Amino acid sequence: MNLEGGVNRVDLSEEEAEKILDFLDFKNGLVTAVVRDCGDKEVLMVAFMNEQALMLTLSTGVMHYWSREREEIWKKGEESGNRQRVRRVRVDCDGDALLFDVDPEGPACHKGYRSCFYREIEECDLTEIMDREFDPQEVYGDN
């Protein structure tokens, strides 16, 4: 399977997904996942994936990540309903980072914003450049 132009099919069998893993360099067991909206190409978030999270993503078409803090796999939108459906996957030249184009089903940021990049540095301060789309307290409780 050639990854030069990206992977456009995201319902891969386990065998097909394992072949993709051979192309990648999981430094310290992880690859970086950059996630952007497939429509307007805005970067929504950056996270990490271990082999199992990538296998789940490629076989289900729904984004799964590795939480370094909790040390477990998490399915995007499991609690909030804000899933990300994969449309295309691209691999960087070193094989240690992936670019996912997704159809987001709601905001990406756990703080309630469309993108995790909702702040901008302005005059030595951080300025919010997006409006919050949901109250994280209502979705996640006291987490």
Please state the φ and ψ torsions of residue 94, each to the nearest 5 degrees.
-90, -10
Low-confidence ranges of the chain (pLDDT < 50): 1-5
**pLDDT at residue number 9:** 54
Tokens of 32: 């970086």
**pLDDT at residue number 4:** 42
**pLDDT at residue number 11:** 77
Render pLDDT for 83-110 as a digit per residue (tens, 0 to 9).
Answer: 999 999 999 999 999 999 999 999 999 9
On whether the 14-106 domain is CATH 3.40.50.300, my answer is no
Average model confidence (pLDDT) for the chain? 91
Render pLDDT for 59-71 as a digit per residue (tens, 0 to 9).
Answer: 999 999 999 999 9
Tell me the domain boundaries of the chain. Answer: 14-106
Quote the CA–CA distance of 77 and 84 in Å, as a whole number. 7
**pLDDT at residue number 43:** 98
**pLDDT at residue number 5:** 47
Query: E strands of 38-141, at which residues?
Result: 43-49, 64-67, 72-75, 84-91, 97-104, 119-122, 125-128
Closest of 139, 138, 117, 136 to residue 128, by C-alpha: 117
